[in-house]
């Protein structure tokens, strides 16, 4: 190889290297810009702030979604609060793919969780692994306030499907519509299943 061939090969190699570096830089800048556009928004919310919704079935309780993909772009967590009147309950169900933490802020609840069962009081915590059957009932005489956190989005879709905004008319859903809400929200309710498996 003569010196002209070596120079030409070296020049071609340097040109290719600079081009690859430039493309990678542009790609990284583009990815960074996309990531920053999709980044979740910070939130500062008071107790009653957030997306308030009314359940479709009686008793007509309500809940507030505070953190979710729709509310602030969170891709990893869902969080909200709910008040439960005496006798109200979250019927037996299991989440498909999301762990949940339920914190009892006020009152007393009776919890069935997998093969465990007990009362928990204000300050108590329930950790519900995905695919674990759970039910929670207000076992006291006062309103219970709970805070719920999910490890991934999904269940908030069920919550929106089975509720309305405060200014909307409450129309109950059929059994098939409820199953559809469950599918949309990655949850199975025991009373909607033909042959539930515990």
Q: Is the pLDDT of residue 171 over 50?
A: yes
Residue 74 near residue 41 (C-beta atoms within 8 A): no
User: Which range has the top average pLDDT, 32-36, 127-131, 192-196?
Assistant: 127-131
Map out the domains of the chain as residue ranges: 1-39, 51-192
- Residue 134's nearest CA partner among 151, 152, 116 is 116
Q: Using CA atoms, how far apart are residues 90 and 191, in angstroms rounded to an integer? A: 12
39-53, pLDDT tens digit by residue?
899 999 999 999 999
Residues 97-118: what's their mean pLDDT?
98
pLDDT at res. 61: 87
Give the burial string for 53-64 (b: 16+ CB within 10 Å, else e).
bebbeeeebebb
Residue 27 near residue 137 (C-beta atoms within 8 A): no
8-14-16 Cα angle (round to 5): 100
Q: What is the pTM of this model?
A: 0.78
Q: Is the pLDDT of residue 21 over 50?
A: no
What dihedral do alpha carbons 37, 64, 193, 103 form, nearest 10°? Answer: 100
Q: Is the pLDDT of residue 22 over 90?
A: no
For the residues of 8-29, what is the DSSP string, one character each?
HHHHHHHHHHHHHHHHHHHHHH
User: Which range has the top average pLDDT, 57-71, 112-126, 182-196?
Assistant: 112-126
| 60: Cα within 13 Å, side-chain hemisphere | 10
Q: What CATH superfamily is the domain 51-192?
A: Jelly Rolls (2.60.120.10)
67-94, pLDDT tens digit by residue?
999 999 999 999 999 999 999 999 999 9
């Amino acid at each position: 190889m003569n010196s002209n061939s070596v120079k030409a090969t070296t020049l071609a190699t340097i040109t290719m290297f600079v081009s690859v570096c430039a493309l990678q830089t542009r790609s990284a800048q583009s990815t960074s810009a996309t990531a920053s556009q999709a980044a979740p928004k910070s939130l500062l919310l008071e107790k009653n702030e957030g997306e308030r919704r009314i359940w479709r079935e009686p008793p007509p309780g309500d809940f507030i979604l505070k953190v979710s993909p729709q509310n602030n772009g969170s891709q990893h967590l869902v969080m909200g609060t709910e008040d439960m009147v005496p006798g109200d309950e979250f019927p037996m169900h299991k989440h498909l793919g999301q762990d949940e933490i339920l914190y009892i802020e006020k009152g007393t609840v009776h919890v069935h969780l997998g093969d465990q069962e007990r009362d928990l009081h204000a300050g108590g915590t329930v950790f519900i692994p995905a695919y674990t059957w759970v039910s929670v009932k207000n076992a006291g005489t006062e309103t219970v306030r709970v805070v719920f956190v999910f490890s991934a989005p999904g269940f908030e879709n069920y919550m929106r499907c089975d509720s309305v905004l405060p200014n909307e008319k409450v129309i109950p859903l059929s059994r098939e519509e409820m199953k559809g809400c469950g599918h949309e929200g990655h949850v199975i309710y025991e009373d909607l299943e033909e042959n539930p498996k515990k």
